[in-house]
Amino acid sequence: MLDSIPPHIKSLLIIGAGPAGYITAIRLAQRGFSVTLVESTHVGGTCLNWGCIPSKALIHASNDYYKIKSKSLASLGIQVGELALDWATLSAHLEQDVQQLRNGIEARLKRLKVNLVKGNARFISPTSVEVQDAEGKSKVLQADAFVIATGAKTLVPQVFQGLDPRFSLSVKEIFSIPELPKRLGIVGAGVIGLELAQAFQRLGVEVHVLDRLSGILPQYDAKLVAILQDKLKKEGISFHFNADITTAVVDEAQNHVTLKITSLLNPEEQQTLEVERLLIAPGRRANTQGLRLENAGVDLHPQSGGVIINDALQSNQPHIFAIGDVTHGHPQLAHVASHHGIVLAETLAGKQNGLDALTQIPAVVYTQPELARVGLSLEEATSKGYTAKVTRLPFAALGRATIDGVSDGQALIVVDDATGAILGAEILSPYADALISQMLQAIELGATVEDVALSVHPHPSLSEAWLEVAERHLGHGIHID
C-alpha cells in the first residue's frame, strides 16, 4: 500500500453523498478544495433516508405509543382514554423528518459551492468517471483525486432472492409500506433487526425474529444482552434462533409468506411460519457493484468486497481514496463513516495524519433500554495482555433509575489492574448513547477509575452510574457494596 499523499490535489470528485461523502465534501470545501459530489438517489444516503433517521423516529413514536398502550403511566396517576394509531400519518411524519434534514444538507452544500451531480457514476479510467443521469444522459468528469463513499447494501440470502418485493422488504421499503402487517418476520437478530422488531411490536404488530445464530448481539456483554433479550421476549417478540430458512414461498391470495425452517442444531427439527411481510436485515456488504473499479485498477477484498485501504484511507491507487462502509475492515457505522470523511479532508489539507484519531468507536443499539459499549471487553483486554477486572453496577442503586422506572438497567467498566486506567465500558439504560460518551472521553484521555470516582456527577441522574461503579470497583461503593 502507498502512504504518501499525491501533491497538488486541488479538485476532488466524491462518489456517494451519505454520511461519509457529504461530510467529506463539506469539510473539503471549507478547506478551499474544488469539490464535485455525485449521488444516484438522495443526499444523506441510507442513514438519513432509510436507516438511522427514520428508524429512530419510528422508535421514538413507538415508545410513546407503548407507554400509553401498556398503561405504564397509570401508576403515576395519568389516565389516558381511547388509543388509536394512524400509520399513514406516522409514515408521513417519518418522511417529513427525513426531507427536512435532506433539505438542510443540500442547502449547506450549495452555500459552500459544492457541485452536486445526480446520477450513477462509474470509472472509465483511473482518472475519469462517467455519470449517467435518470434520463440516460451521460457526461465524463475528471478530478485530481477521487473518493469512493458508496456505503453498503443489504445482503440478501439466496432463499429470498426473486421474492415478490411487496412481501420481501429491506429498510428502503419498510417505512413506506401502505399499512402495518399483522405478522412481520424479520430475518436477522442484529442491531437493525432488533431495533425495528421492538418498534413494530410496540405498535401492535406480531413480530418474529429469525437468525442462524444462537442468540442476539454476541459482541456485547452476555449478562447485559440476557437482560435485554428477556425484556424483548416479555414484550411479545418471538425469537427463532439456530434457524436455517430453507424455503420462502409467497401466497398472494392469502397475503402471506410461508417460511420453512430447519434447526441448525437438529436437522430433523423443522417448523413452518407464516408472516404477512418479511424484513430482510441479516447484514450488509460493501456497495461497489456498478462502479467499474477494475477500470481504475482499485483492489477489493475477496471476501468482504470492500475497498482495501491504508491508514491514509488510500486504495492501492494513490489518488483514489475510500471511506465509510465501502471499505474493508472498518465498522459499518455512520459515525465511523463521518469520521473517515473529516480525517481524509484534514489529511489532504495537511492538518492531520491518517486515522490516528480513530482509536475508540462507541456502538449503540437503540432498543428500549438502549445498549451501548466502547473500548475493550474483559476478554479483549485479556487477549491484549492486560490484567484487567470488570465491575458491574445494577441500576437499583440509582435514585434516578427508580424515578424513571428503569431499575433493571446495568453498567460495567473494564479496568487495568496495573494502572487503574479505564479500558472499556458498557451500559444498558435509557439514553445509553449519551451516557457512553463519558466513558469514551475517559478512555481517550487516559482517565483512571479514581478520576471517574472523583468527578462530581449531577444528582439525581443516570450518569451517576459511572460514579457508583467506579466507587464500587475501588472497594467502597456508596449505595451498594
70's grid cell: 401498556
CA distances from 339 to 16, 26, 248 (A): 15, 13, 40
Q: What is the DSSP string of 330-375?
A: S---HHHHHHHHHHHHHHHTTS--TTTT-----EEE-SSSEEEEEE
Question: Residues 41-67: pLDDT tens digits?
Answer: 999 999 999 999 999 999 999 999 999
Domains of the chain (ranges, CATH numbers): 11-154+285-348 (3.50.50.60), 158-282 (3.50.50.60), 369-473 (3.30.390.30)
Mean pLDDT of 195-216: 97
CA distance 448 to 415: 8
Mean pLDDT across 102-123: 97
* pLDDT confidence tier of residue 414, bands split at 50, 70 and 90: very high
239 versus 352: the higher-pLDDT residue is: 239
Lowest mean pLDDT across 73-82, 213-222, 308-317: 73-82
Cα dist. 272→183, 239, 260, 261, 266 in Å?
14, 14, 5, 6, 15
The Cα 373–Cα 225 span in angstroms is 12
**Residue 366's pLDDT is what?**
97
The pLDDT value recorded for residue 106 is 97
Give me the pLDDT at residue 1, please: 40
Return the closest-CA partner of residue 78 out of 87, 68, 92: 68
pLDDT score of 6 more than 80:
no
Nearest to 145 by CA among 298, 19, 6, 323: 6
| pLDDT in the model for residue 82 | 86
Active site residues: 459
* Cβ-Cβ contacts under 8 Å for 151 (sequence gap 6 or more): 16, 18, 20, 45, 46, 287, 324, 325, 326, 337
Strand 320-322, strand 284-286: pairing:
unpaired
- Percentage helix, strand, coil for the chain under 3-state DSSP, each rounded to 5: 35, 25, 40
The alpha-helical segments, DSSP class H, found in 388-476 are 399-404, 432-444, 449-453, 464-473
Which of the four pLDDT bands, split at 50, 70 and 90, describes residue 78? confident
Least confident of 6-10, 119-123, 142-146, 445-449: 6-10
Contacting residues for 421 by C-beta, under 8 A, at least 6 apart? 415, 443, 446, 447, 448, 449
DSSP assignment, residue 6?
P
Q: What are residue 339's phi and psi, to 5 degrees? A: -65, -40
Q: Is the pLDDT of residue 278 over 60?
A: yes
Average model confidence (pLDDT) for the chain?
Answer: 94
pLDDT at 2: 45
The type of residue at 215 is: G
> What confidence score (pLDDT) does residue 350 get?
87
Supply the DSSP symbol for 429.
E
Q: Is the dihedral of CA 469, 443, 324, 161 positive or negative?
A: negative
Q: Quote the radius of gyration of the chain (alpha carbons, Å).
A: 24
Q: What is the pTM of this model?
A: 0.94
pLDDT, position 358: 59
Q: In b/e form, how buried is each residue of 272-284, taking b as 16+ CB within 10 angstroms?
A: ebebbbbbbbbbb
For cell 468482504, name the residue: 304
